[in-house]
Structure 1
Amino acid sequence: MASIFTKIIQGEIPSYKVAEDEKHFAFLDINPNAKGHTLVIPKKEENKIFDLSKQEYAELMDFCYRVAKALEKAIPCERIGMSVIGLEVPHVHVHLVPLNAMEDIQFVKKEKLSNDEFVSLAEKIAQNFE
């Protein structure tokens, strides 16, 4: 059965896409820790990050790097934090979170955004993706 992230990639579930290539997909987290919190996933459905081949892992990290650089340009922040937890969805996903305080990466405090704010934010990040 396809994961929720596979359904997002296939367009069965809507998302606020910020970047995509032939192997990866990045979209805004709908329950963000901070404004701009982005999930980066391989299109290949794999449960655990270290089950990816070395090449797939390296390609995912390269894509994450490019998304993080776009986030830095679009969102005022001290830095972009990265977390790979992977317990809630059985599909590899990397959290990229704009950080201004340690609380921004602790998955406790959540940001509330309207649909228009999500759309605007996704567009702004996408414009900075190279």
Structure 2
Amino acid sequence: MPSIFTRIINGEIPAHTIAETDDYLAFLDVFPTAVGHTLVIPKQEVDYLFALDDELYTGLMQFAKTIAPAIEKAVPCKRIGVAVVGLEVPHAHVHLIPLNSMADMNFSNKLKLSQEELAATAEKIRSFL
């Protein structure tokens, strides 16, 4: 069965897309720890980040590196944090999280944002790409 991220890639589930290439996709987390919390994924469904081949892994990190400055410009923060947890969705992914304190990385604290708030945030981040 395809992961929820593969279903997003295939257009079966809507997402607030930030950027997309042939191989990677960045979109807002719908259960963010901070406004602007973005997920960056390879389009190839691989369960574990360290199971990615070297080219796909390096490309994922390079793609994330292009997204982070746009998030930082769009969302006031001290820096963009990077997290890889890998337990909640069986599809390799990187979290890019605007940080003002360590509490912003607490995955048990989830914000409840409306679709309108998510759409506005995505548009603002895209404007800086």
* Range class of TM-score, shorter chain: over 0.9
TM-score, normalising length: structure 2: 0.97
- Correspondence 1:26 to 2:26: yes
- Correspondence 1:37 to 2:37: yes
Alpha-carbon distance in 2 for matches of 1:78, 1:57? 26
Q: Secondary structure at the match of 1:56?
A: helix
Cα deviation code 1:70-107 (max 9, x no counterpart): 10111100000000011011100100000001010021
Give the aligned CA root-mean-square deviation in angstroms. 0.8
Give the corresponding residue for 1:83. 83
Alpha-carbon distance in 2 for matches of 1:70, 1:22? 20
Report runs of 4+ in structure 1 exceeding 6 Å deviation: none
**% of aligned pairs identical?**
54
Q: Secondary structure at the match of 2:8?
A: helix
Deviates more, 1:94-103 or 1:107-116: 107-116
Q: Secondary structure at the match of 1:55?
A: helix
Give the corresponding residue for 1:52. 52
Deviates more, 1:41-50 or 1:105-114: 105-114
Q: Secondary structure at the match of 1:61?
A: helix
TM-score, normalising length: structure 1: 0.96
Structure 2: 5+ residue stretches without partners: none
| Aligned positions, number | 129
1:112 Cα deviation (Å)? 2.0
Alpha-carbon distance in 1 for matches of 2:10, 2:109? 30
